[in-house]
Amino acid sequence: MAQDENALQWYAFRMRGHVPNESQRVAREAGFDTYYAMQRELRDASYDVTTEQAIGARAVLPSIIFVRCTYEFARPMRNHRVMWPLCMPGTSEFAAISEREMEIFRAAVESGCRNLEVIDTNLATGQRVRVLDGIFKDHEGYIVKIRGDKRFVVSIPGVVALATIYIPPHLLTRV
């Protein structure tokens, strides 16, 4: 597929050593935005700790960083020592991510859902749905059965799928 080399697009990059600061520095020095998926979590609920100590952050995808860059920037990164672009499975085509898919993915990560889980992307197939109410209101994804439970799945094709919480059927509509 021919790509406009100067158009800004989100790409997923694998990082060496799970060090997002170094990868972020490389991208930001070139003038591009980055997103490293971090989820807030409660670490200590005791009364004698401050809010800053009680709430921490954990990486959802420790080895992946998203960069909004040009294809021209991503192409030579194949041989970079810090990070390299992910390709679509079975191809050498970079996994370009649409702005809408990134918005939905970011909303899922930052929603505060405690049951967020990275799953095998092969599970995220079937009819797309839109959530009508709740913390995922207006977000699109799939409903997939995982270990006996139906879960709402947000997917970036070729990169990652995140399983969130159970959403009752009356809060879903087909897209």
Note down the domain range covering 162.
100-175
C-alpha–C-alpha distance, residues 109 and 37, integer Å: 7
Whole-structure pTM value: 0.77
The CATH number of whichever domain residue 4 belongs to comes to 3.30.70.940
C-alpha–C-alpha distance, residues 105 and 108, integer Å: 5
Q: Which of 66, 59, 65 is nearest to 15 (CA)?
A: 65
> Other CB atoms closer than 10 Å to residue 143's CB: what's the count?
17
Does one domain contain both 89 and 120?
no
C-alpha–C-alpha distance, residues 24 and 87, integer Å: 20
Does one domain contain both 91 and 119?
no
Q: Which of 174, 7, 166, 158 is nearest to 87 (CA)?
A: 158
Does one domain contain both 5 and 85?
yes
Secondary structure of the chain as H, E, C letters: CCCCCCCCEEEEEEEHHHCHHHHHHHHHHCCCEEECCEEEEECCCCCCCCHHHHEEEEECCCCEEEEEECHHHHHHHHHCCCEEECECCCCCCECEECHHHHHHHHHHHHCCCCCCEEECHHHCCCCEEEECCCCCCCCEEEEEEECCEEEEEEEECCCEEEECCCCCHHHEEEC
Does one domain contain both 77 and 158?
no
For residue 49, give both structure tokens: 């700790």
Does one domain contain both 19 and 92?
yes
Does one domain contain both 106 and 173?
yes
- pLDDT tens, per residue, the chain with 175 residues: 445 667 899 999 999 877 788 999 999 999 999 999 988 776 677 777 777 776 777 888 889 999 999 999 999 998 888 899 998 888 888 988 999 899 988 988 887 676 777 776 555 456 788 888 887 888 888 887 777 777 888 888 878 888 887 777 788 888 8
